[in-house]
Structure 1
Amino acid sequence: MGTPATDLLVDAFGRVRETVHDTVEGLGRRELTYRVDEQANTICWLVWHLTRIQDDHIAGVAGTEQVWLSEGWVERFALPLERHDHGYGHSSEQVASVDVDADLLLGYHDAVHARVVEYLQTLSDDDLPRVVDRSWTPPVTLAVRLVSVADDSAQHAGQAAFVRGIVNRAHE
């Protein structure tokens, strides 16, 4: 186990993983790609995007290659997007293009989650104040980046769970 701070981060990312699984498990492609309106994000896109952001940002601070690339997920998903795309600023058409089954989506999420936990467990309290991004004022520390990614992930997981609730009501 890590430090109390990193243990909290592991717990936070674990809660995101639980929400992702609770939201995605048992859904077919139709439910995963349901849109509340023509501009809304789908469960599939939200989970893919939050996972891509985790993968991109954690690989960035860890100095490793993204799981998306190193483990062949980009080829398995076969999306009509650039290899490094993670969904930020996507158009409605790009959101709709993220259409994969639950097993693939959860497989990628679990692979990224494992990498995130593995990385977090290497950290000490002395690592957390390290500046990882000087393009912001004030500069972003590792601690701030990790909390930001956990928060963004939790928000998107909650949005996906909300859409699942709408999907469930529509099929009652």
Structure 2
Amino acid sequence: MDVIQRKEWNANHKKLTEIILKSEEHSQAIQLFLSQHALLHSSSVGNSGNPTLEDEVLIDLEEKLYREYPVANRDTKNSIVWHLWHLARIEDMTMNILIANDEQVSVKGNWTEKMNIDFCHSGNDMRDEEIAGLSKSIDFDSLIAYRQAVGRRTREIISLLEQGQFKKKVNKNRINRLFDENAVTQEAAWLADYWSKKTIAGLILMPATRHNYLHLNKCIRIKEKIQKRMKKSKGY
């Protein structure tokens, strides 16, 4: 995505914010969401054939550099793989627990074990040594496959929402599930409290879209900095 495409994404997100609670524009809101969401996962998820932000992150960078931690970036020190994992976890739990009241993709597909990690929380308030451990040990191919599975499931969930559901508040019992399933730790209880005040529309406008957009752009800035450093070390 170039600068013009990013401006278009932001303009469409603003439009989605304006129409998502209007019952008469329910179908249009879903279609606009699907278009926006497709640009935040690999192109295979949305089947649009257009390059996406995730494609931009994943192309032309060695796997070992995705794992680099800490990174020298002004707004994050976390590795690219941490950001991709964190995005998938947040989207998985908010869409599947809070909206659909269903099993998480991570549980259905046994993805935690496949990714070679031993915790299933959101990644918020992790200690440095935990982030370093995840960055080193997570199975990269399984991480990418998990992101794809989460993205596809999100599109199914939102496509099936009925008129008026965007206005519904998050059910308290579903917030409790986040803790019961260790998706959110007690140290990150603020996150569950934040979501508890949202409508379904609010979850769609942040965890499923804007949150992905912000973190993927962080990944791209990390990637560009790493590539610039590599070129400099080689005397380019």
TM over 0.5, yes or no?
A: yes
Matched, 1:148 2:206: yes
CA RMSD of aligned residues (A): 2.3
Percent sequence identity is 21
Structure 1 CA distance for aligned equivalents of residues 67 and 195 of structure 2:
38
Q: Where does 1:119-138 land on structure 2 (aligned, <5 Å)?
A: 119-132=157-170
**93 and 136 in structure 1: CA distance in 2 versus 1, 3 angstrom threshold:** closer
Residue 36 of structure 1, aligned match among 64, 67, 71? 71
5+ long unaligned stretches in structure 1: none
- More helix, by proportion: 2
SS of the equivalent of 2:221 reads helix
Q: Displacement, 1:112?
A: 0.4
Q: Where does 1:66-145 land on structure 2 (aligned, <5 Å)?
A: 66-80=104-118, 82=119, 84-99=120-135, 100-132=138-170, 139-145=197-203
Deviations 1:8-56 (A, max 9, x none): 2212221111212320244333211123249811000001001110001
| Residue aligning to 1:53 | 90
In structure 2, give the amino acid aligned to 1:55. Answer: D
In structure 2, give the amino acid aligned to 1:114. Answer: R
Q: Displacement, 1:74?
A: 0.7
5+ long unaligned stretches in structure 2: 1-25, 42-51, 173-192, 232-236
TM-score normalized by structure 2? 0.65
Structure 1 CA distance for aligned equivalents of residues 155 and 195 of structure 2:
28
Paired residues, number: 169
Matched, 1:15 2:39: yes
**29 and 93 in structure 1: CA distance in 2 versus 1, 3 angstrom threshold:** farther
Deviates most, 89-98 or 156-165: 89-98
Residue 224 of structure 2, aligned match among 162, 165, 169? 165
CA contact (8 A) 1:46 1:157 kept: yes
**138 and 85 in structure 1: CA distance in 2 versus 1, 3 angstrom threshold:** closer
Structure 1 CA distance for aligned equivalents of residues 27 and 83 of structure 2:
31
TM-score normalized by structure 1? 0.87
